[in-house]
């Protein structure tokens, strides 16, 4: 087995050497104030990379602004095209299964709690996650003039800054949690953007061919390298990714107060989108159907009793509403999310406009597929 405990334990003590070295350089040259300024700028900015970053940061960006050598562009193009065609369904998986898988990992989720971000503004975190996915998975973002690499490096710098500040606080238990935003956790995050999508899209009626699944995994392995993940431990196949995901779940999925708070906050946010709260009871159904009972039990989400509900058109119409609202809130062009009293624009890349699933029948197809899956369980 590639992913033994000894290997994964070692990865918990590894961060991102290149980006971390940049942080050390800033400190060694008396530019420590730039570390906190860098974090604040990254969090506040809606642009890709602010132009007033220190010269050392700009030099690092220039040195890392490229894809790995030998990238298979045909695979990348195919993966981006599949996402563009099924963007709504991808967003549903991202905002349910992917987030909940991340919350269930006790050690990794503590980084978000430590930085006091997600618990304060669930809406912004969901929008940021989906916006990042859109920015790096949409067609043409890695072509000349595209902003894919710049968007990835912005997150990479954010990780390095957070890692530096958390370790500098002397309040982080490395023996228990490992390095903040460590290699194992970055691998896990990459899987929530790829392996979890591959696993759960069929619940929405989208069955990927073997080639499509491998293309999606390959795409995120490339993104992961630009993001600072050691390519040595990237999964080599969908089967490899499945094994890695299972190993990470075995090692880290366990109840935590932070995970429960964040999952409850996600559920409450979704329920807040329901008109007059008429469909609140369907949100746990959605979350449990997408993420599974084990993850939802770990996170303390309420149970549902779908098996006792009849297969009626009424239920399909009822379930359609929360799915529609989740999808529209995450993908509709120009959607806005609150951030500390300020408004930050959420944008849909123009490359998705022609394929964006806004027709009501497309939404209904996804719901019928999900209902069928639920009845088969």
The predicted pLDDT at position 107 comes to: 94
**Closest to 102 in 3D by CA, of 224, 318, 3, 248:** 248
In Å, how far are 10, 125, 135, 160, 198 from 165, measured between CA atoms?
22, 20, 26, 9, 35
The predicted pLDDT at position 198 comes to: 97
Coil, helix or strand for 80?
Answer: helix
User: Would you give per-residue pLDDT tens digits along the chain (377 residues)?
Assistant: 789 999 999 999 999 999 999 988 887 777 766 666 665 666 555 555 566 677 888 889 889 989 999 999 999 999 999 998 888 888 889 889 999 999 999 999 988 777 655 444 666 667 777 778 888 998 889 987 778 898 898 889 889 888 988 888 888 999 999 999 999 999 999 999 999 999 999 988 888 999 999 999 999 999 999 999 999 999 999 999 999 999 999 999 999 998 999 899 889 888 877 666 666 778 888 899 899 999 999 999 998 765 444 433 444 445 555 555 555 555 543 333 333 333 344 454 555 544 444 444 454 555 555 555 554 55
- Give the distance, in angstroms, between the CA of residue 331 and the centroid of all CA atoms in the same chain: 15
The predicted pLDDT at position 341 comes to: 36
> Are 92 and 133 a contacting pair, CB within 8 Å?
no
The predicted pLDDT at position 223 comes to: 97
In Å, how far are 57, 186, 225, 243, 349 from 221, measured between CA atoms?
25, 11, 6, 15, 22
Run of H or E residues at 343: strand 342-345
The predicted pLDDT at position 220 comes to: 97
What 8-state DSSP symbol labels residue 49? S
CA–CA dist 99, 78 (Å, integer): 25
The predicted pLDDT at position 252 comes to: 97
Report residue 88 as tokens. Answer: 């709504």
> Are 105 and 252 a contacting pair, CB within 8 Å?
yes
CB neighbourhood size of 202 (10 A): 12
In Å, how far are 81, 218, 229, 358 from 200, measured between CA atoms?
18, 18, 24, 21
The predicted pLDDT at position 316 comes to: 45
């Amino acid at each position: 087995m590639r992913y033994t405990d000894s290997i994964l334990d070692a990865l918990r003590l590894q961060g991102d050497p290149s980006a971390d070295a940049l942080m050390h350089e800033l400190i060694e040259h008396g530019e420590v104030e730039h570390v906190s300024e860098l974090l604040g700028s990254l969090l506040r900015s809606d642009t890709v990379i602010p132009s007033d970053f220190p010269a050392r940061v700009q030099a690092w960006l220039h040195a890392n602004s490229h894809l790995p050598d030998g990238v298979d562009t045909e695979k990348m193009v195919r993966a981006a095209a599949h996402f563009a065609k099924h963007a709504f369904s991808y967003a549903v998986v991202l905002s349910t299964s992917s987030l909940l898988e991340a919350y269930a990992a006790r050690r990794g989720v503590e980084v978000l709690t430590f930085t006091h971000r997600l618990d304060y503004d669930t809406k912004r975190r969901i929008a940021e996650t989906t916006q990042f996915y859109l920015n790096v998975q949409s067609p043409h973002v890695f072509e000349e003039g595209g902003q894919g690499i710049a968007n990835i490096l912005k997150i990479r710098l954010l990780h390095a800054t957070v890692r530096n500040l958390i370790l500098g606080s002397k309040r982080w238990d490395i023996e228990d949690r490992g390095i903040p935003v460590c290699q194992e956790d970055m691998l896990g995050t990459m899987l929530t953007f790829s392996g979890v999508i591959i696993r759960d899209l069929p619940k929405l009626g989208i069955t990927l061919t073997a080639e499509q699944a491998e293309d999606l995994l390959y795409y995120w392995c490339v993104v992961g390298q630009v993001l600072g993940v050691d390519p040595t431990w990237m999964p080599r196949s969908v089967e490899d990714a499945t094994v890695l995901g299972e190993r990470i779940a075995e090692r880290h999925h366990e109840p935590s107060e932070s995970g429960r708070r964040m999952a409850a906050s996600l559920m409450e946010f979704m329920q807040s989108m329901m008109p007059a709260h008429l469909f609140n009871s369907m949100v746990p159904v959605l979350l449990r159907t997408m993420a599974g009972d084990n993850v939802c039990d770990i996170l303390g989400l309420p149970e549902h009793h779908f098996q006792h509900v009849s297969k009626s058109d009424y239920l399909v119409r009822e379930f359609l509403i929360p799915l529609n609202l989740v999808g529209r809130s995450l993908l509709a062009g120009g959607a806005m999310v609150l951030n500390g009293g300020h408004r930050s624009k959420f944008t849909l890349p123009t490359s998705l406009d022609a394929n964006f699933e806004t027709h009501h029948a497309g939404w209904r197809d996804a719901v019928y597929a999900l209902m069928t899956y639920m009845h088969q369980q």
